[in-house]
Structure formats: C-alpha cells, structure tokens
Amino acid sequence: MPSLKAIRKRIGTVKNTQKITRAMKLVAAAKLRRAQDAIIAARPYGHSLEQVVHDLSRKAGADAHPLFKPADGGDDVDVGANKAAILLFTSDRGLAGAFNSQIVRRVELHADEALADYEDVSLGVVGRKGNEYFKRRKANIARFDNAPTAESALGLSHKLANCVIDDFESGRAHRVFLVYNEFKSAISQGVSVKQILPIEPPPADEDEEPVLGGDDYLYEPSREELLAHLVPLYIQNVIYNAALESIASEFGARMTAMDNATRNAGEMIGKLTLQYNRARQAAITKELLEIISGAEALKG
C-alpha cells in the first residue's frame, strides 16, 4: 500500500490538474459562443449562394464555366489519369476528444473506398494535428496550413479557394473534396464530406415542378461575367463556412473533453481521499495496538 505522503502528493497533483481542465473548459465555452454566433450568421448566406450556383450550373450547362465540368488535365498532364484532392480541417492542438481522430479516419476511409479507383490522391491539410498524422504515414501532402482562427478564417479561405481552383483547372486534380467537422451542438459534431469541384448540382427532385420561363435565366451583366465572379466566390464561401464549422466544433469538442476530464479528476480525488483515510486509520490502529501491547508487557 502506498504511504500516506505518496497518496497526499497524488491528491494534490490531481487537484492541480482538475483546476487546469476546469479553466480550459471555461475558456472553450466562452470561445464556443462567439464561434457559434459566427456560424449562425454565415449559414443563410452560404445556403442561398449554394442554391443559386447549383441552379445556374443545372440550367446553364457544364460548358458555361470551367468549374462546372471535369478538368481536362492540360497539355502537360495525362488526361486519362484520375487524380483527386482532399482538403481537410483539423486543429493545431490536442485535448479535444475525438475531434481530430474522426477526421483522419474519415479521410482514410474515403480514400480507400470512394477514391479507390483514383491513381493519385493528394491532401491539403489544415491543422498541425492532421499534418503530423499523415506525415508519419508518408501520405501525399500537397500543402499544409495552420488551423484557422476567427481572425484568419476569411483570408485562409480565400487562399485555399485559389489553390484548389488552380489545381482543378491545371489538371492536377480532377475532383476536389472537402472534409471537416460540422457543428451540430456543443456536445455533437459530425464529419462532413463534400465534393466542391467540379460543381455538380444535386439530382433534380422528381416531384419538383418545372420552372416557368424557359431553361435558362436572363443575365445582367452577361452570363460569362456573372459566373466568373460568382463561382469562385462560391468556392471561397464553402471553404469559409467549413472553417467556421471546424472552429466551433473544436471548441465544442474541447469543452466536452475538459468537462469529462474535470469530472474524472473529481472521481479520482474521491477514491484517493478514501484510500488516504483508510491508510491513515490503519496506521492509527497499528499505533494503538503497539501502545496497548507495550502497556500489557510492562504490567507483566
């Protein structure tokens, strides 16, 4: 049995750890609220923009914009080669439960199953944790960026959008997928896999009524000018929304993980305290027995 001093020291260590996890939970909860407000504000615009672009791609046709049709590979790329790119969002820090592990598992599963026929799959990794994981496994990492913050999310999204569009148009990737944690609640995040290039509208609903007024829209300015501005903006917005979702999901996962750690530390303190009291009681009983035995020996 450990000594009283060792148990007392361990109780103090666990109490210090509990203070840290409680503080981290409070910090994550405060940041989560701001991140959640940012998501709620961005979702309506993103949803409307997605509907508009998908409707335009369906009515204008695949030839209306280069991002509506599969990349042709360019002059210096094998046109017959199937190449895919996955842009994934992880975090820079750990202590966030399954936030990072469920992303890397989903990426590996998607690469092994959905992209099994592709001869080359490259990764665009956002977040140090994802980069460290795939670097150890010798994966094909095309680019790496630090995880976004509320201040850097927009600039990073603009940069990544330009990168994936350039890869697609040059033929370095024939399909581009986005993998990120979608924020549902403070205790629930789900991994979302979305194809962002080429832009393909969802299948039309059989019950959907045909749109009156012809098969296309009247454009002002021209269709080419409108699509040239709107489609890259849509790609940037999709990545920006994914960054915001990832930020909020990380704070939610960290808050939940630190809450669990704080409660586990409390349970451990209770068990150690009980062990300490039992050891102390046993030591006192032993001393009393020794005193009584000594007294009896003196009487004899």
pLDDT confidence bin for 57, thresholds 50/70/90 = confident
- Between CA 44 and CA 53, with CA 50 as vertex, the angle to 5 degrees is 140
Q: Taking the domains of the chain in order of start, what are their residue ranges?
A: 4-20+258-299, 26-201+215-257
Which tens digit of pLDDT belongs to each residue from 206-264? Answer: 555 544 444 567 778 888 888 899 999 999 999 999 999 999 999 999 999 999 999 99
Decide if pLDDT at 196 tops 70. yes
Convert the pLDDT of each residue in 139-171 to its tens digit. 999 999 999 999 999 999 999 999 999 999 998
Residue 1 confidence (pLDDT): 67
Residue 76: the pLDDT is: 44
Q: Is 250 exposed, middle or buried (0-12, 13-18, 19+ CB in 10 A)?
A: buried
For residues 151 and 78, which has the higher predicted lDDT (pLDDT)? 151
Ranges of beta strands (E only) in the chain are 83-89, 120-126, 141-145, 175-185, 188-197
Report whether 233 contacts 45 (CB < 8 A).
Answer: no
pLDDT at 92: 96
Say if CB 141 and CB 135 are below 8 A apart: yes
Tell me the C-alpha to C-alpha distance, in Å, between residue 293 and each of 152, 227, 281, 283: 75, 97, 18, 15
Percent pLDDT > 90 in the chain is 67
* CA dist list (Å): 28 to 116, 119, 236, 266: 38, 41, 27, 20
4-20+258-299 belongs to which homologous superfamily?
A: ATP synthase, gamma subunit, helix hairpin domain (1.10.287.80)
Most confident stretch, 78-87, 132-141, 210-219:
132-141
Across the range 99-103, mean pLDDT stands at: 95
Tell me, which fold does domain 26-201+215-257 have in CATH? Answer: Pyruvate Kinase; Chain: A, domain 1 (3.40.1380)
Residue that is written with structure tokens 């913050």 in the block: 149
Least confident range of 47-51, 117-121, 214-218, 258-262 = 214-218
Q: At residue 136, does pLDDT exceed 90?
A: yes
β-partners of residue 191 are: 181
Judge whether residue 134 has pLDDT over 80.
Answer: yes
String of DSSP letters for 71-137: ----TTS-TT--EEEEEEE--SS--STTHHHHHHHHHHHHHHTTTTT-SEEEEEEESHHHHHHHHHT
